[in-house]
C-alpha cells in the first residue's frame, strides 16, 4: 500500500475499535445492498414454474439457468480484487448494485433459453464483485471480537430475502407478469447503488488484487481448502435446495404454485433470528463447533426432503433451512481468522466462486437433470447425503485463535 492507502486503511481500522452498536447503521446499509444482490440471484426460483410454462423450458433447462448464473458469479468473484484494488471497496459495492439492477432488467426482456442463459450469466458477473468487498467492509467496521455478530447482521440480508421473495413474487403475480417483477427489482437495485455511493460509511480503502504472492499465501493454508468445500456444501443446503424447492413441491407433491411459494417463504422466517443467534454462538463457541452441528442436522433434514410423503413435507420444509443458515456467520468468521485485513478479500474471492458453482449451480443443474429422468426426489436426497460429508470434514479444520 502507498501512504494514502495505508492512512485510509488505518482510519477504517480505528473505526473498528469503537463500540459495536455505533456501527449498526453502516452495517445495515451494507446489508441492504446485499439484500438486493441476493434477491436478484434467487428471484427466478419462485417464478420458475410460470417461466417454464411461458418459455416452454424443461426441468433441465430451468436448472441450467442457475449453473450459468454461478459460472458468471465464479468469474466475477475471481476478478473482484482487481476492481476493488483500483476503485476501493466502497465504490465496488456501489458499482455492483447498479450493474446487478441493469442485468436483472435485461433478463425481463429474454424470450428464449439462449437469451435467458446469457442474461443470467451477466447477472452473475455483476453480482460477484460485491461479496469480497462487502465482507471486508463489514469486518473493518468492528473489532474482531464482534465479527460473528457483525457478519450475522450482514447475513440477515439473504435470510430475509429467502423469506420475502417467494411471498412478494406470489403477491406481485396478481398484478404483474414475471417480466415486470424482474424489471422492478432491477430498477430498485440501480437506485440503491447510487444511494450507497453518496451515503455509505466504511470501505474507503483499496483491496488487494489477486497476485501470485497473495494467492500463494492463502492456498498454503490447509484450512482454506477445507473451507472451500464446506462453503460449497453450505450453499447447497441453503441456496441450492431453495432454487429447486418450489418447482419440486409443485411437480412432485402436487402443491399449487401459490401454496409452494408461501410455504417456502414462511419456512424461512425462523432463519432471521437463528442466523443472529448463530453469530452470537460463533463468538462464544467458535466456528468449528457450529459447523459440525450444522452439517450433521442439515444433511439429515435435506435427505428427508426427498423421502417423506406429501403429508409430512411441510414440516421438513420448515425445519431444513433453520440450521442451514447457521453456517455462514461461522464460515466467514473462519475465513477472516485465516487471513489478514489486506488479503481477506482475496481469501473470499478464491473461496466463494468454487463453492457457489458447486452448491448454487452444479447441484441445482444436477437435480434438474435427474428430475427430467423421473428422479427429482432422488436428486434432493442425494444433495442431503453430500451435505452430511461436511460433518466429518469439519473435524479436520484447524483455525487461528487470534
Mean pLDDT of the 253-280 span: 82
Please report whether residue 4 resides in a domain: no
Where does 220-343 have alpha helices with state H?
222-235, 241-252, 257-267, 269-285, 287-305, 310-324, 327-337
Say how many C-beta atoms besides its own lie within 10 A of residue 319's C-beta.
18
Mean pLDDT of the 128-133 span: 85
Task: Compute the half-sphere exposure of residue 383: CA atoms within 13 Å on the CB side of its CA.
Answer: 41
Nearest to 58 by CA among 306, 361, 369, 362: 369
Distance CA 72, CA 292 (A): 30
Please report whether residue 6 resides in a domain: no
Please report whether residue 5 resides in a domain: no
Residue 268 belongs to what domain range? 16-396
Please report whether residue 64 resides in a domain: yes
Please report whether residue 215 resides in a domain: yes
Per-residue pLDDT of 356-400, as tens digits, reads 888 888 888 899 899 888 899 999 999 999 999 999 888 888 766
pLDDT at 183 over 90: yes
Please report whether residue 22 resides in a domain: yes
Domain count, the chain: 1
Positive/negative CA dihedral, 111, 73, 83, 135 = positive
Mean pLDDT of the 150-172 span: 84
Distance CA 291, CA 294 (A): 5
CATH number at residue 312: 1.20.1250.20
Distance CA 345, CA 343 (A): 5
Nearest to 71 by CA among 345, 354, 349: 354
Can you give the pLDDT at residue 258? 85
User: Which carries the bigger pLDDT value, residue 252 or residue 82?
Assistant: 252
Whether the model pTM is above 0.85: no
pLDDT band for position 120 (cuts 50, 70, 90): very high
Please report whether residue 214 resides in a domain: yes
Please report whether residue 2 resides in a domain: no
| DSSP3 helix / strand / coil % (the chain, rounded to 5) | 85, 0, 15
Amino acid at each position: 500500500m502507498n501512504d494514502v492507502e495505508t492512512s485510509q486503511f488505518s482510519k477504517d481500522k480505528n473505526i473498528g475499535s469503537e463500540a459495536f452498536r455505533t456501527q449498526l447503521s453502516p452495517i445495515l446499509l451494507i446489508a441492504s445492498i446485499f439484500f438486493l444482490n441476493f434477491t436478484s440471484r434467487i428471484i427466478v426460483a419462485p417464478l420458475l414454474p410460470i417461466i417454464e410454462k411461458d418459455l416452454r423450458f424443461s426441468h433441465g433447462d430451468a436448472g441450467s439457468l442457475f449453473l450459468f448464473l454461478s459460472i458468471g458469479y465464479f468469474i466475477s468473484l475471481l476478478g473482484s480484487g482487481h476492481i476493488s484494488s483500483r476503485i476501493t471497496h466502497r465504490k465496488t459495492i456501489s458499482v455492483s448494485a447498479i450493474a446487478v439492477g441493469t442485468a436483472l432488467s435485461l433478463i425481463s426482456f429474454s424470450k428464449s433459453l439462449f437469451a435467458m442463459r446469457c442474461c443470467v450469466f451477466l447477472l452473475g458477473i455483476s453480482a460477484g464483485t460485491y461479496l469480497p468487498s462487502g465482507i471486508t467492509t463489514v469486518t473493518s467496521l468492528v473489532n474482531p471480537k464482534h465479527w460473528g455478530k457483525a457478519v450475522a447482521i450482514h447475513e440477515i440480508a439473504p435470510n430475509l430475502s429467502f423469506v420475502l421473495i417467494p411471498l412478494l413474487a406470489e403477491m406481485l403475480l396478481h398484478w404483474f407478469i414475471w417480466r415486470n417483477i424482474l424489471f422492478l427489482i432491477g430498477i430498485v437495485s440501480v437506485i440503491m447503488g447510487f444511494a450507497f455511493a453518496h451515503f455509505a460509511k466504511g470501505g474507503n480503502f483499496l483491496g488487494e488484487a489477486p497476485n501470485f504472492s497473495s494467492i500463494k499465501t492463502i492456498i498454503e493454508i490447509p484450512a482454506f481448502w477445507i473451507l472451500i468445500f464446506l462453503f460449497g456444501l453450505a450453499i447447497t443446503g441453503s441456496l441450492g435446495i431453495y432454487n429447486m424447492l418450489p418447482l419440486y413441491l409443485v411437480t412432485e407433491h402436487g402443491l399449487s404454485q401459490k401454496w409452494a411459494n408461501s410455504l417456502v417463504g414462511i419456512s424461512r422466517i425462523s432463519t432471521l433470528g437463528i442466523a443472529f443467534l448463530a453469530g452470537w454462538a460463533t463468538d462464544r463457541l467458535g466456528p468449528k463447533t457450529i459447523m459440525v452441528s450444522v452439517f450433521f442436522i442439515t444433511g439429515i433434514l435435506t435427505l428427508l426432503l426427498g423421502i417423506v410423503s406429501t403429508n409430512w413435507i411441510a414440516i421438513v420444509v420448515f425445519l431444513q433451512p433453520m440450521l442451514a443458515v447457521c453456517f455462514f456467520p461461522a464460515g466467514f468468521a473462519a475465513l477472516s481468522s485465516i487471513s489478514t485485513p489486506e488479503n481477506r478479500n482475496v481469501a473470499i474471492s478464491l473461496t466463494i466462486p468454487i463453492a457457489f458453482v458447486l452448491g448454487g449451480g452444479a447441484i441445482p443443474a444436477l437435480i434438474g437433470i435427474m428430475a427430467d429422468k423421473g428422479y427429482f426426489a432422488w436428486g434432493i436426497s442425494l444433495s442431503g447425503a453430500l451435505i452430511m460429508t461436511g460433518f466429518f470434514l469439519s473435524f479436520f479444520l484447524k483455525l487461528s485463535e487470534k
